[in-house]
Chains A and B, each alone.
Chain A
Amino acid sequence: MIQLLQQVNELPGVLGSMVMTADGLPVASLLGAGLDEDCVAAYASSSSIAVGRVATHCGEEAPDEVILESEGGTLLLKQIEGATLAVITHPGLEMNTGMVEIRSIAKRLHQIIEIQNK
């Protein structure tokens, strides 16, 4: 899992990444300086839950990807089976090719989690 997070962190503009449970408990993390894994997991999970509730209320399934853009950076939350991959990037970064790579790594994380749950 850590190796896959290292791969995410090698993408241009990525400041750090982590995997957390759906309820906001950190599983594995490689975050940059100044970012606390418990804090990121707690608030990322709260945000993801709040977004999911609105989306479901609008008749959608829970979102697969949530992107929070802020002045100091962008947080991408990619749902994996029962967990979430969180990726933090520089602010304003266009993640076109990076997104393809992140989705591919998320798929591999999904497989790891499935194996661990078996």
Chain B
Amino acid sequence: MGIIESWMKNSTRAEKNHSQLFTPGCESLLLEAVRDLDQVGERLVAIQLLRAGTVGFHPWDDGEAVLEQLQRSRAREAIADLQDAVELNYSASDAAQLSEALDRLGDTAGATLWARAAIQEDPCNPEGYLAIARTYLRRFRRDEDSLAGLHALRYLTKACQLQTVHSECLRSLAMLLLLLKAPLAAAKVLRPLRKLVPHDPMVLALNSLTSRFPAENTSNIQELFLRWETGTTPQHSIDNMTSIPCPEGVDAWELDESRSLVATSSGANQSGDTAELLSVLAGTLTRATPRMGLGEFCKVTARGRSGVLIGRAESSGMIFCHSSRNSVEPSLSRWLEGDRGREMSR
């Protein structure tokens, strides 16, 4: 069997129940098992086991170092055959595998090029998106780079849309959710895999992590990212809400620096859903413009067919207002930029 076939092959041995190796305190036992497997030529199984171990025992520097070494060796062995494969019989899957191998060898530019080539060759094949997503996911995990996390989410979502039950897509998505401290969402993503590949070491490791974290109280992925980035969770309390004097037909909401809803106009929706959506919007806008290279956020205007939403950054947080009449946009802007009876709302 060629290297490519063995690369693509789902080893049946990996299906064996290795759960005892992931018990806390069994790191050296796992490393020993991995070395034994590698010595008998079962490098793929060894990598799969160790990859699961680095997730289960995270942070585990020794495990990460051995894994890196094994993955690089495997990529080095496979690279020539993978290059031949894309030249002889070009397919999206071949390009995606070459991308993955190049990434392992540290050639990020080459990896991105081939992953994009895979998407171009067959935009309906999830492999190209998955290859890019995995590169970003590694960077997110290793460097805690939020942009990499955001990219990983985008490409994983796309791959999962193209093939709803794709083991690698679901495993990667579950890992991303666990990194964002969302065990409930991760458990939901892992559910089909628990039926499909119950003894897969990575599924076992990820599954055990879902019970180690406290359950998240939001299903909004953007809110999860914001909490991960800022380390804070907004606290919305209707009891302490103050009132914003507001023109007729306009709803207004004010959020403080921690993205918590602190004031609304009379009649404006104060539900938990509204507070969370506005909070996510405030956090997203505040982070987006500096990261794009456009400096500090000042103002947002959203025009639809049936209304206008305007938001403005303030020294103490952010204020949003909404009207279902588009014609009031200029006066609403002026009102937001003015004093708008601030003393009365305090």
With known contacts A43-B292, A44-B288, A55–B304 Cβ distance under 8 A: yes
Bound together, the chains give a CA A52 to CA B280 distance in angstroms of: 12
Distance A51 CA – B288 CA, assembled complex (angstroms): 12
SS of A interface (majority): mixed
Kindly count the residue-residue contacts between A and B in the assembled complex, taking CB atoms under 8 Å apart.
Answer: 146
Q: Is the pair B281, A51 in contact by a Cβ cutoff of 8 Å?
A: yes
B-binding segment of A6-14, A63-71, A106-114: A63-71
Does B306 count as interface, using CB distance less than 8 angstroms? Answer: yes
Q: How would residues 17 to 58 of chain A score, 1 for a CB under 8 Å from any chain B CB and 0 otherwise?
A: 000000111000000001110111011111101111111011
Contact B298 A69 (CB under 8 A): yes
Knowing A42-B154, A63-B309, the reply to whether A68 touches B304 (Cβ < 8 A) is no
| Tally of chain A residues near chain B (CB < 8 A) | 43
Q: Are A73 and B222 in contact (CB under 8 A)?
A: no
Which residue in chain A gives the minimum CB-CB distance to B283?
A50
A43 and B287 within 8 A (CB): yes
* Beta-carbon contact of A72 and B294 below 8 Å: yes
Of B102-110, B178-186, B233-241, B270-278, the segment with at least 4 beta carbons within 8 Å of chain A is B270-278
B300 pairs with A49, CB closer than 8 A: no
Query: In residues 152-170 of chain B, which contact A (Cβ within 8 Å)?
Result: 154-155, 157-158
Q: Which A residue's beta carbon lies closest to that of B305?
A: A61
A68, B158: Cβ atoms under 8 Å? no
Contact of B277 among A25, A54, A64 (CB under 8 A): A54
Size band of the interface chain B makes with A: 35 or more
Inter-chain contact B284/A39, CB cutoff 8 Å: no
Assess whether B284 is in contact with A58, with CB atoms less than 8 Å apart: no
Chain A residues within an 8 Å CB radius of B278? 54
Is there an interface contact between A69 and B292, defined as CB atoms closer than 8 Å?
no
Report the separation of the CA atoms of residues A30 and B223 in the bound assembly, to the nearest whole angstrom: 31
Chain A residues near B222 (CB-CB < 8 A): 46, 49-50
Other-chain contact of A73, B294, B299, B320 (Cβ < 8 Å): B294
Q: Are A35 and B298 in contact (CB under 8 A)?
A: no
**Contact flags B169-197 to A (C-beta < 8 A → 1, else 0):** 00000000000000000000000000000
Q: Which of A47, A69, A73 contacts B284 (CB 8 A)?
A: A47
**In the assembly, what is the distance between CA of A50 and CA of B304, in Å?**
14
- B258 interfacial by beta-carbon distance below 8 Å: no
Q: Are A72 and B293 in contact (CB under 8 A)?
A: yes
Check A53/B277 contact, CB under 8 A, given A46-B288, A47-B284, A70-B289.
yes
Contact assessment for B304 and A61 in the assembled complex, using a CB-CB cutoff below 8 Å: yes
Query: Measured between C-beta atoms, what is the minimum distance from A59 to chain B in Å?
Result: 7
- Asked if A80 is an interface residue, CB under 8 A from chain B, the answer is no
Q: Which of B274, B297, B305 has a CB less than 8 Å from the CB of A57?
A: B274
- Pick 12 A–B contacts, CB within 8 A, sort by A: A23-B154, A42-B151, A46-B222, A49-B222, A51-B302, A53-B277, A57-B277, A59-B324, A62-B304, A63-B304, A68-B289, A70-B298
User: 6 closest Cβ contacts across the A-B interface?
Assistant: A72-B295, A71-B295, A63-B302, A70-B289, A43-B288, A60-B307
Residues of A in contact with B (beta carbons under 8 Å apart): 23-25, 34-36, 38-40, 42-47, 49-55, 57-75, 88, 91
* A-B contacts besides A23-B157, A58-B322, 15 pairs, CB < 8 Å: A23-B154, A24-B150, A42-B150, A43-B150, A43-B287, A46-B150, A51-B309, A55-B302, A57-B277, A58-B251, A58-B309, A60-B309, A62-B304, A70-B298, A71-B296
